[in-house]
Amino acid sequence: MAWWVPPLLAVQFLTRVPVPGLRGLGAAEVRTGLVRAVGWFPLVGALVGAVTAAVAVGGASVWPVPVAVVLALVVEARLTGAFHEDAVADFCDAFGGGQEPGDVLRIMKDSRIGSYGALGLMLAVGARAGLMIAVLEGFAPLVAGLVVVASASFGRLLAVGMMAIVPPAGAGLGKDIGAGVGAGLLGMAVVTAVPGVMPLALLAPLAVAGAIAAGLVFALWFRGLLLRRIGGSTGDCLGFAAYAGQLMMLLAVTAGR
């Protein structure tokens, strides 16, 4: 497999950006490539964050900051297909309304959104919007942009970390991908997170260290929860972790402001 296939598959998997050069791949090649693509998730997250940051920072020079943040989140949702937001809603519905493992998995697969999912999604997006407003109002534009990029990259890194420490639950493509993620791909994900996180780490090392520490604590707690409730993880669980990681970075940077 050509070296450029996994990063392109990562872009295709995490965004709605048309990716040329992948049409000739067979099903087996796509499955293998997606496993390797996991290592590129934090870098793709940084690119998504860069678009969000550009819209937010640029919009703040024209409109009030809250308006600019909403516009940025709208653009990001269009760019990603609301990939992680959908996972947050499904996760909250399933773990809020399901009791037995089978019920949790069944609810998670249901495309309808219940009260738990609606409330969870509203609170998650509201928290992120509020934190981004605080970042744009409290930091210089360049620094604010770096915060948004770092949070996006860190969130995807946390999702890869969960793949590495929690076995997949259920069957399908998610199981095929998650089962192949080990220390090697996690290490690669750490490396591809450097471009997105390191610039902020140089400016605010304590905040980034705090976010990493919070991420480690969350990963251990979340692992126990997933194993206890459904015996593993699903794509929606990983998407929830990615969104939680973004919130952790934003919370760490804005703490004390």
Tokens for 91? 């996760």
- Domains of the chain, by residue range, sit at 45-157+182-254
- Reference 48, options 86, 90, 82; nearest CA is 82
Phi, psi of 59 (to 5 degrees): -65, -35
73-112 in b/e form (b: 16+ CB < 10 A) is bebbbebbebbbbbbbbbbbbbbeebeeeeebbebbeeee
- Reference 84, options 143, 155, 28, 36; nearest CA is 155
Task: Give the Cα separation of 238 and 252 in Å (integer).
Answer: 21
Single-letter code of the amino acid located at 210: G
Per-residue confidence in pLDDT tens, the chain, 257 aa: 677 888 999 999 999 998 887 776 776 777 778 889 999 999 999 999 999 999 999 999 999 999 999 999 999 999 999 999 999 999 999 999 888 999 999 999 888 899 999 999 999 999 999 999 999 999 999 999 999 999 999 999 999 999 999 999 865 555 666 667 888 999 999 999 999 999 999 999 999 999 999 999 999 999 999 999 999 999 999 999 999 999 999 999 999 77
The residue to which tokens 């990063």 are assigned: 7
